[in-house]
Amino acid sequence: MRLFGPVRARRGRSFAHVYLVVTALARGSWSLDMDYVRPADVVSSMIDAGVKKLALPPRDLLIRGAISGALLGAATTLALTGAMTTGQPLVGALIFPVALVIIVLLGLELVTGSFALVPLARLEGKASWGAVITNWSWVYLANLLGCIAFGLLIAISLTNMGKSEVTGVAARIVAVAEAKTIANEALGTAGMVSLFVKGILCNWLVSLGVVLAMTSNSTIGKIAATWWAIFLFFALGFEHAVVNMFLIPTGMLLGAKVGVYDWWVWNQIPVTLGNIVGGFLCTGLALYATYKPAELSPASPPVAAPAQIASKVLAS
């Protein structure tokens, strides 16, 4: 309940707005309203987000997922361009999180985030594993379609519809596509295990970025909280299934010596499995296990009404 504000104070030619917001919390205590959301409340929001995602029809999952895939493709292209232009890979890592920020702020669908959030609805008994896998499947397909669509368009743009040579960032995409597939195939089992582990580490950080956005109620807070976890994943060179949905087929369109078998067996499948483990086990389940919302115990003392609290505060 807001009691005061805004109050305008003047200093010379500048004006400052001072907001004093006094809030009666649900459990009967009074405190200043703050932007930060506590971890226990964040986990409650994670569960709610999982339930809401499961309630979305395939049409919405496809639209929101395709937009997310295209955004990741755009951000990856810009990140590679920034890294090449400056000669500093960290510049690309600083640029890349812009896509995740847009996805979070618009409430779009990214399967790597869903790997962490959607299973919590099952753990709460609000959904079946069949519903969880169905949701993942639709979003995965949508992300793939969005990535391929953007990849086709950017390939046309970078090569003037095939009339120009593959140079600059286009050549970089080709090199990355080959490094993510046939280079791992050359390593055999070691390459496969490496992809899986990089997938785990990647989505531990990426899904943390999605969750960290829930620690703030403000737009700027969500941006700041999301940015750094995503920066970490990109700077460390881990493997993200949706980013690879853009890089590898786009590299193939631009002339990379990679086949569909190479793409899926020597990257997409092991990375996806690693992303599931990293998102669900390392983020979703880990936070749920330690901050799981507890039911109010029947033996708990009754909560005083706000009017009673107010009278006590005034009396003191």
> What one-character-per-residue DSSP string does 151-171 give?
HHHHHHHHHTTTTS---HHHH
Angle, CA 111 vertex, CA 207 and CA 152 arms, to 5°: 120
Examine residue 225 and state whether it is found in any structural domain, yes or no.
yes
Examine residue 304 and state whether it is found in any structural domain, yes or no.
no
Confidence band for 295, pLDDT divided at 50, 70 and 90 = low
Tens of pLDDT, residues 152-187: 999 999 999 999 999 999 999 999 999 999 999 999
If one compares 307 and 70, the residue with the highest pLDDT of the two is 70
Residues 3 and 121 occupy one common structural domain: no
Examine residue 224 and state whether it is found in any structural domain, yes or no.
yes
Alpha-carbon gap, residue 231 to 304, rounded angstroms: 45
Tens of pLDDT, residues 244-290: 999 999 999 999 999 999 999 999 999 999 999 999 999 999 999 99
| The pLDDT of residue 316 is above 80 | no
Residues 22 and 98 occupy one common structural domain: no
Examine residue 79 and state whether it is found in any structural domain, yes or no.
yes
> Where is average pLDDT lowest: 45-49, 115-119, 218-222, 303-307?
303-307
Examine residue 303 and state whether it is found in any structural domain, yes or no.
no
Residues 70 and 12 occupy one common structural domain: no
Domain CATH for 104: 1.20.1080.10
The count of structural domains within the chain is: 2
Read off the tokens for 225. 């909280």
pLDDT of residue 34: 72
pLDDT of residue 293: 82
Among candidate residues 223, 265, 267, 270, the one with its CA nearest the CA of residue 248:
267
Residues 72 and 175 occupy one common structural domain: yes
Examine residue 73 and state whether it is found in any structural domain, yes or no.
yes
